[in-house]
A and B are shown apart, each in its own frame.
Chain A
């Protein structure tokens, strides 16, 4: 019975399935177009620019991690080197003859060039060998950035001015919003190309080699060359992200290619979910929000981001995309609505409990670190004395009650889950 339901969308009419496949892309394009009209503040545009650049980088990273099964610990270098090259183009006399929107092509080619050089030896093996080489190369290039000062600019990095480029249809890219649309344009192009890549013969074989390299070799494909081509394609889009970074910030430093940045993109991608094409998009959006919005609220944002990552790895190895896609069977069975009330009854207390825990962490931090005499702190729009007893009692009570309610309602949710995923026989 359930076999039939899964094969139905494919046997539908070709035009039907085509518009079905295009729908998410159209929604994304419309969102990209109108978001700056909803969030008009400069700070919002800045956050979105950073977000879309991270989306491209994370998608490019997932061409390796999710689709090719290659764990890279040094992928920031492909974005960084692409960005540095673009910075030099911006500082070059002939830049006035190059339209700025074309810069990402150059960034991509430089990222790709580096990927060809490194991939030529690093893709020979997958697994630990590949991971260690990627780490070594990452460290090596990051170390070069302090040594080769002419190219990387030493500690200050390299800065430039994007407005020196050839005006593009009258646009000089002075304003953030102009840069926004440039980034959004390249995001759509890159995401579409990366998606299409996954549907090509080499993209399909990248999955095959990821799952079973030996079998792929006995079907005529060299696992090594399949990995190499994925690696090079990934390098291209990392370079595109690097170029957009250069355009957006007009400065690149060692930080853009060090191991910490490489680590962040791994976590971002994993948070979003490596198993689905759109996973890294979610990861990049959530992480950028944590990094920007949450960091304005609390100094401890990195601590919360760390907990989020650990919780993802431990409890939701499929990432955010995995959690969403878990619901597809229930939706197909038309029983997803059974989950709504149990979700509200369980997840709202859980959220309150988690916020309570965060409040406790903030209070401990304030209690330990605030200067003497400055006992007042503000949390969730409430100002109180962190050295008084009452706030502690309240917060601990909220946590205990919230998690208590969650625990009581949990069986109801698991029952609803089983019911929603249970196909009726016959």
Chain B
């Protein structure tokens, strides 16, 4: 599948990306191409630079060197909201929602721009049936319909993570980036979230960070392994798992972590 889509413009293309914080280089020359419709997982031990990579792609941080393009368009110099308008949406490792607003309103905020409302002060949000129905459909998908009118801040942790995914997909972006959506969850909750991700990203390009390879094994078409700011392997899940370099670096680091 990837070989076939290879001739197309990649959904996301990362070219020789570097990032230093002070003197420490955290991202050390990343090259990565993600095809449209691909489900791509970035795995690697804690501190490898996975979140930093996400932050560079979405302009939360400025890169020290290198280039990121979305559907062939160079993202250099763009603000996060401009990148979002081009159809790239992301979630955060640390839950990032609007805690004081209702669950429904959280989702609606995610819908507003893409439905063309922009900075409108001449439409009433409650009058738009499309907006309400759109938000309710997403609530249904993420199974939070029963929580519709509660302030998002009172939801359980797992529910907030689901809401964060809902906000992320609400705008209909075709490239979805999720940063450790299952972080801190029990096994059952993890299975639930992985199913949810599979369901809501049908037909979209997914880039997902995960530090546990097992979680993404059934989900991802492609896996990249990021260790100390470098991608040491990219490929289909079976190939990556069998790769001795990965086993050495990744398992070594994972073992280190346990001690």
Contacts and interface: CB of A to CB of B under 8 A. Distances in A.
Contacts of B84: 217-220
Contacts, number: 100
B98 A218 contact: no
A326 to B, nearest CB: 15
A201 B89 contact: no
Contacts of B60: 214
B82 to A, nearest CB: 8
A217 B84 CA distance: 8
Interface stretch (B21-29, B123-131, B207-215, B238-246): B123-131
Interface in B173-194: none
Interface residues of B, number: 40
Interface string B159-203: 000000001001100000000000000000000000000000000
Interface in B74-98: 79-81, 84-85, 89-90, 96-98
Contacts of B171: 219-220
B32 interface: no
Contacts of A221: 81, 112-113
B121 A211 contact: no
A96 B126 CA distance: 43
A212 B122 contact: no
Nearest to B86: A220
A229 interface: yes
B150 interface: yes
A125 interface: no
A201 B112 contact: yes
Given A197-B121, A204-B105, A220 B81 contact: yes
A217 B81 contact: yes
B79 A217 contact: yes
Nearest to A233: B121
Nearest to A201: B117
Nearest to A215: B96
A203 interface: yes
Interface in A187-245: 196-197, 199-205, 207-208, 211-212, 214-222, 225-226, 229, 233
Contacts of B118: 201
Contacts of A207: 98, 100-101
Nearest to A14: B126
Given A211-B101, A217-B79, A219-B110, A7 B149 contact: yes
B98 A199 contact: no
A196 B99 contact: no
Interface string B113-156: 11001111111111000000000000000000011111000000
Contacts of A202: 119-121
Given A10-B149, A200-B121, A200-B124, A222 B79 contact: yes
B126 A199 contact: yes
Contact of A220 (B98, B113, B124, B149): B113
A253 B119 CA distance: 36
A126 to B, nearest CB: 15
Contacts of B112: 201, 204-205, 219-221
B109 interface: yes
Interface string A362-392: 0000000000000000000000000000000
Contacts of B80: 214, 217-218
Most buried by B among A196, A207, A218: A218
B81 A211 contact: no
Contacts of A93: none
Contacts of B114: 220
B58 A211 contact: no
Contact of B150 (A6, A200, A201, A220): A6
A258 B24 CA distance: 50
A200 B125 contact: yes
B96 A219 contact: no
Contacts of A201: 112, 117-121, 123, 125
A10 B149 CA distance: 9
A41 to B, nearest CB: 41
B108 interface: yes
A212 B97 contact: yes
Given A202-B121, A205-B112, A222-B79, A215 B97 contact: yes
Nearest to B108: A204
Contacts of B121: 197, 200-203, 229, 233
A204 B97 contact: no
Contacts of A424: none
Nearest to A232: B121
B111 to A, nearest CB: 9
A173 B151 CA distance: 49
Interface of A: 3, 6-7, 10, 196-197, 199-205, 207-208, 211-212, 214-222, 225-226, 229, 233
16 contacts: A199-B124, A201-B119, A201-B121, A202-B120, A204-B109, A205-B119, A207-B98, A208-B101, A211-B98, A215-B96, A215-B167, A216-B109, A218-B58, A219-B84, A221-B81, A222-B81
Interface of B: 58, 60, 79-81, 84-85, 89-90, 96-101, 105, 108-110, 112-114, 117-126, 146-150, 167, 170-171
Give the 5 A-B CB pairs with smallest separation, nearest first.
A220-B113, A201-B117, A217-B80, A220-B84, A201-B120
